[in-house]
Chains A and B, each alone.
Chain A
Amino acid sequence: DTGVSQNPRHKITKRGQNVTFRCDPISEHNRLYWYRQTLGQGPEFLTYFQNEAQLEKSRLLSDRFSAERPKGSFSTLEIQRTEQGDSAMYLCATRDRMNTEAFFGQGTRLTVV
């Protein structure tokens, strides 16, 4: 157990529905990342928070995607009007202030049918 917790672990949704994922970081990890991983690919960066501030967003992150990290603790990633192409594993990773390695959660596997 890495200490980074993601919920739910699996989500099946119909196309057009909205979904929300949650990430609870290791305590005192001020940097939080969302990545997306599809079969046969490495994690692709989506967005980055330092404390509560969203500092970077990938061009992969369309306007249907939104992420928040209120109070610099847990984070949520919402996808509106899901499309089949959104089917993927969504990973959360966190790092501490000392610039050490990122710790990953188990991920949320999204299937859009």
Chain B
Amino acid sequence: AQSVSQHNHHVILSEAASLELGCNYSYGGTVNLFWYVQYPGQHLQLLLKYFSGDPLVKGIKGFEAEFIKSKFSFNLRKPSVQWSDTAEYFCAALPSGGSYIPTFGRGTSLIVHP
């Protein structure tokens, strides 16, 4: 069964610091990858997604992620975080073909101090 691992469960940063959140997936075939964000009291919403092509994907609010197939990784980055980036971040994987069920990691709680 496929699984998604997020290594950092809690991250605390000061504004303007750089961010990198790790995500690894276990699935041997072609996979679609996502990062979702959940701001306090709000629903899960998509930050960015990777289906094919350029492994460096740019999303909303200055976030980007890099797909490294050899490492089964899809890490999320932002060069300079803001207080408003405080949220839960979830990585998800969806195999191409077969099961159409997205699998989520356990999430990373990010707190950004002003």
Contacts from A to B (Cβ < 8 Å) = 2, 4, 31, 33, 35, 40-45, 48, 50, 56, 91, 93, 95, 99-102, 104-107
Cβ–Cβ contact B34 & A101, under 8 A: yes
Mask of B81-105 contacts with A, CB within 8 angstroms, 1/0: 0000000001000101001111111
Q: Given the complex of chains A and B, what is the CA–CA distance between A101 and B34 in angstroms? A: 8
Min CB distance A21 to B, Å, is 15
Q: A42-B90, A42-B107, A43-B90 are in contact. Are A105 and B43 (CB under 8 A)?
A: yes
Min CB distance B22 to A, Å, is 14
Q: A41-B107, A42-B90, A101-B34 are in contact. Are A2 and B43 (CB under 8 A)?
A: yes
Which 9 interchain pairs have the tightest Cβ spacing? A42-B104, A104-B44, A42-B106, A43-B104, A42-B107, A101-B46, A106-B43, A104-B43, A42-B90
Q: Given the complex of chains A and B, what is the CA–CA distance between A41 and B4 in angstroms? A: 12
Nearest-neighbor residue (CB-CB) of B99 within chain A: A56
CB contact between A102 and one of B6, B9, B96, B102 (< 8 Å): that residue: B102
Q: Given the complex of chains A and B, what is the CA–CA distance between A48 and B46 in angstroms? A: 20
Nearest-neighbor residue (CB-CB) of B41 within chain A: A106
Contacts from B to A (Cβ < 8 Å) = 4, 6, 9, 32, 34, 36, 42-46, 49, 90, 94, 96, 99-107
Cβ–Cβ contact A48 & B100, under 8 A: yes
Cβ–Cβ contact B100 & A50, under 8 A: yes
Q: Given the complex of chains A and B, what is the CA–CA distance between A99 and B96 in angstroms? A: 9
Kindly list chain A residues whose C-beta atoms are within 8 Å of the C-beta of B104. 35, 42-44
Kindly list chain A residues whose C-beta atoms are within 8 Å of the C-beta of B43. 2, 4, 104-107
Kindly list chain B residues whose C-beta atoms are within 8 Å of the C-beta of A48. 100-101
